[in-house]
Amino acid sequence: MNAATSRDCTVATPFLAVTGATGLLGSYLVRDLLLAGRNLALIVRRDRKKSAETRVESLIHRWEETLDAELPRPVVLEGDLSQPQCGLSDEDRHWMHWNCSELLNNAASLSFRGEDRSGEPWLTNVTGTCNTIALAREVGIEHFHHVSTAYVCGLRTGTALEDEIDVGQAFGNDYETSKCEAEKMVRAAGFSSATVYRPSIIVGDSQTGYTSTYHGFFAGLRLGHTLLTRVVKGSTSGPALLGLLGVNQADHKNFVPVDWVSEVITHAIGTPAARGRTFHVTHPNPLSMHTVGRVIQEAVETYSAAASPDDPDLCDERWFADNLRTQLDVYHSYFRNDPVFDRRNTEEIAGHIPCPPLDDATLLRMSQFAIDCDFGRRQGRPTVPSASAP
């Protein structure tokens, strides 16, 4: 099946429309949903150089190379969520009306701050979700799936239940506020079912270390990596730096590998009993900040090139810490203590899909991948041969 032929007719098996397919999680969802036999229609925007079709083709092609198997071609609908009707043509909306019964809204802006609500993250996360809901209603989507974030809990402490959303919490940044507003809109939209998936901080592939975005854990790693070029090996003592940054080593953060998040969401989408529920797609064993600091230290000292002791521009540990603190300001909310994410719904529906442990070896593999590809500036090659990274 290719896009051209599949669009010519109304098919017996309804399509799942998906947004955000070109992103980190989206690319894994495309792989897993296609392997699960779903017909997909991807709403993708063009970039400066490539059409939506070309972007999707290269994504599928990379998976085919990794899997060493052919994948069916999704239908590509060129669109931008920030536009009314998501910028889709009349013809494409007409096609959706006849062919799509479900929609997975996974696209988002991961910008943390945006003072102007006409810019990101508001534009895609709030206006874009509003446009996606309107599009879904117009074309008759019955079942709406929405990727939110566990951090709609904002600055809450204690236990955050999957069934809770707005309990008057304050938020750590505009991204969290925008995602919470979006989730409430989805819930209020009146679809036959609206199912919400709330991952915690997504890291790379648990098998290969592959990632294409560098938030959360990788933000700390990237700063450590960059700053190490100004200090000698050993100056980046993880625990000491965490102390200087004001991070309590006993605090915990919840990280989840992208391949597991995708597997859980794919399974839930295919499970009627999951419809209408909310899932904390979170790790059962959060990491202590002590572990995070220790692994980042080990990773940069192993894989990054430190300054040499006779470098005239050498800086001391205080300089390192001051720079880290300044640059990490925007990410400060990432490094606060997490509440306990109740995950009973996730256990009930996807308890048979165990979340891979994020042990030192796994985190170091992800760190090595990120450093080797210079945090996305170079083409990255997975460090372990596996069939799970594009």
Residues that bind ligand NAP (CB under 6 A): 19-26, 45, 47, 80-82, 106-110, 124, 128, 147, 149, 179, 199, 201-202, 213, 215-216
Which of 47, 316 has the CB closer to ligand NAP? 47
The CB-of-232 to ligand NAP minimum distance in angstroms stands at 32
Which residue's C-beta sits nearest to ligand NAP?
23
User: Smaller CB distance to ligand NAP: residue 46 or 230?
Assistant: 46
Q: Is 4 helix (H, G, I), strand (E, B) or coil?
A: helix
213 vs 226, which CB is nearer to ligand NAP?
213
Return the SS3 of 219. helix
Cβ closest to ligand NAP, residue 204 vs residue 235? 204
Cis peptide before 121 (omega within 30 of 0): yes
Q: Give the residue from 363, 342, 385 showing the smallest Cα distance to 153.
A: 342
Nearest approach, Cβ of residue 22 and ligand NAP (Å): 4
As measured in angstroms, the least distance from the Cβ of 45 to ligand NAP is: 5
Shortest reach from residue 92's CB to ligand NAP, in Å = 14
> In this complex, which beta carbon is closest to ligand NAP, that of residue 24 or of residue 96?
24
CB nearer to ligand NAP: give 150 or 274: 150
Secondary structure (H, E, C), 246-274: CCCCCCEECEEEHHHHHHHHHHHHCCHHH
Cα 160 to Cα 267: distance, rounded to the nearest angstrom: 23
CA distance 333 to 54: 37
Which C-beta is closer to ligand NAP: that of 30 or that of 228? 30
For the bound state, the minimum distance from the C-beta of residue 195 to ligand NAP, rounded and expressed in Å, comes to 14
Diameter of the chain measured on Cα atoms: 71
Residue nearer to ligand NAP on the CB measure, 8 or 48: 48
Place of tokens 């891979």: 356
Least separation in angstroms between CB 118 and ligand NAP: 13
Distances in Å between the Cα of 293 and the Cα atoms of 61, 232, 251 are 37, 17, 11
CA atoms within 13 A on the CB side of 154: 16
Among 107, 133, 134, 131, smallest CA distance to 121 is for 107
Question: What is the rounded CA–CA span in Å between residue 78 and residue 86?
Answer: 9
Give min distance, CB of 19 to ligand NAP, in A.
6
Q: Which is nearer to ligand NAP, 47 or 65 (CB)?
A: 47
Q: Report in angstroms how near the CB of residue 122 gets to ligand NAP at its nearest.
A: 11
According to DSSP, residue 147 is labeled E
Choose among 345, 317, 267: nearest CA to 37: 267
Rounded CA separation 71/60 (Å): 7
Shortest Å, Cβ 199 to ligand NAP: 4
Q: Distance between CA 271 and CA 102 in Å, rounded?
A: 13
Question: Are the C-beta atoms of 310 and 382 separated by less than 8 Å?
Answer: no
